[in-house]
Structure 1
Amino acid sequence: MKLMPVALAATLSIAAPAQAATIVDTGTPTQTYTGSALDSDQSLAGRFSLTSATMLTDIQGYIRSFRSSGILTIAINRGGNLPGSVLYSGTVAATQGTSFQGLSNLNWMLDAGDYWVSFANSGSGMMSRGAPNPLSVAAYWKPGQGWNSIYDPSRSIGVRISGVPAAVPEPATWAMMLLGFGMVGAAVRRRRPVVATVRVG
């Protein structure tokens, strides 16, 4: 019986990562042609909460970009009444037109708590208003003024965030993983060649 492949497969299946799930989805804003400016003079942010440790994998904002050459910067800031220090940030070329656009294939790990997701665009654009399920608070940033709260559901920005819960294995899972590694070790020991020693004289 070949224990090695079976034990290894069983052990890896226990430790396999969970699938990404939607954490935040405000829905698509209804006011496509009106919104809050998102350009080199103003950034926008919205606050969200996590109930458990989570690795963010995708962040999208509903953006109307007037210039295809603009660079979109998306960041996760510490929580509070207004956005705090930046924990993670990334950039992507803005797409001209109106759509959800942003960052994918992330591995941004966050503990449970309150956070802000912020958007900036080096070009010219806006974030449309009227998301059906708005974030709790919105804010804007202007150079020299810092972050200011502008909470108003009708001005809410469109955001989609996906992630993977950072679940801690239960005792039974740990036991199965240890058993699997033990089986792998046993299989390795059984496969070691036996060397015969012959005495001469």
Structure 2
Amino acid sequence: MMKKILAMMLFYMASSHAALIVDTGTPTDTNGADLYQYQYFAAQFNLDQSETISSIQGYFSNQWGSGTGTMDIAITADVAGKPSTNLFFSSISLDAGQALDWYGLSSLDWLLQAGTYWVTFIPTSVDFYGLVPGSAPLPLEHYLLTDFSGNWGQWSNFAAGIRIESGVTSVPESTMLMLFISGLLGLSAVRSRASRSA
């Protein structure tokens, strides 16, 4: 019986190690902004507790690209309501002609403390030319786009599709689970001793 309980607890711990931190939903139409080397976007998000980011996705295309385009996806600090220094970043490649879909990074291990951050999606090659729709059904509160000079600015009614997933639950919840398992093991040992002495 105890083995079954422990197996269930271990399953719970494994299954609780993934949670969506941000999920704006899929944009409902194709109205939005061009996405290329001189125009890119960012979205602000908040964490109430420390989280380990495991994946980041955006909803965009490289449908007009002249070849395989590259893009940097980063988590940055927030300074005065704008993206600042990259805390973490990695790059993706997207073939020319790729239609609107979710693209991004996975298998990440980016630990962030509680606070306010930006996620940025920045094409880094001239071959990248696509679209980022601005009609996500559950938008974040703050988005920014750049002008041709790379200056961040707001664009009204722009809400890009973004998903950010955490790969590890918060430390307090994990600690509570470990304490609970320890308690079950202790109870099992007490019951075992009691049955041997009877």
TM-score under structure 2 normalisation? 0.74
Task: Give the conservation status (yes or no) of the 8 Å contact 2:38–2:149.
Answer: no
The 2-side partners of 1:136 and 1:26 are apart by 11
1:155 to 150, 155, 158: 158
Q: In terms of Rg, which structure is larger?
A: 1
TM-score (norm 1): 0.73
- Aligned-partner SS, 1:79: strand
CA distance, structure 1, for counterparts of residue 160 and residue 177 of structure 2: 42
**1:88 corresponds to which residue?**
88
Q: In structure 1, what is the equivalent of residue 179 of structure 2?
A: 173
Q: Deviations over 1:95-139 (max 9, x none)?
A: 511101000010111011111111012311121111101111111
Q: 1:132 and 2:132 equivalent?
A: no
Residues 171 and 138 from structure 1, CA distance in 2 versus in 1: closer, same or farther, beyond 3 angstroms? closer
* Equivalent residues of 1:46, 1:117 under 8 A apart: yes
Equivalent-residue separation in structure 2 for 1:74 and 1:22 (angstroms): 18
Is the Cα contact below 8 Å between 2:57 and 2:164 reproduced in 1? Answer: yes
Q: CA deviation at 1:143?
A: 5.9
CA RMSD for the aligned pairs? 2.9
CA contact (8 A) 2:100 2:131 kept: no
- Residue type matched to 1:134 in 2? P
1:89 and 1:172 mapped to 2: Cα distance? Answer: 32
Which piece of structure 1 moves more, 99-108 or 59-68? 59-68
Q: Percent identity among equivalent residues? A: 33
The secondary structure found in structure 2 opposite 1:87 is: strand
Which of 117, 120, 123 aligns to 2:119? It is 117
How many matched pairs?
169
Within 2, Cα distance between the matches of 1:171 and 1:29? Answer: 37
Aligned partners of 1:24, 1:170: CA distance in 2, in Å? Answer: 25
In structure 1, the residue matched to 2:54 is: 57
Distance 2:163 2:113 in 1: 19
Quote the Cα distance in structure 1 between the aligned partners of 2:130 and 2:28: 17
Partner of 1:39: 36
**Would you say 1:103 and 2:128 are equivalent positions?**
no
TM-superposed CA distance for 1:69, in Å, is: 0.5
Q: Distance in 2 between matches of 1:171 and 1:46?
A: 33
Q: Which residue of 2 aligns with 1:198?
A: none
Distance in 1, matches of 2:153 and 2:42, equals 10
Equivalent residues of 1:52, 1:165 under 8 A apart: no
Match of 2:193 in 1: none
Runs of 5+ consecutive residues of structure 1 not aligned to the other structure: 1-5, 181-201
1:154-177 alpha-carbon deviations (Å, 9 max, x no partner): 311100111033313249729939
CA deviations over 1:76-101 (Å, ceiling 9, x no partner)? 01124111211010111125111010
Q: Given the alignment, which residue of 23, 26, 45 partners 2:21?
A: 23
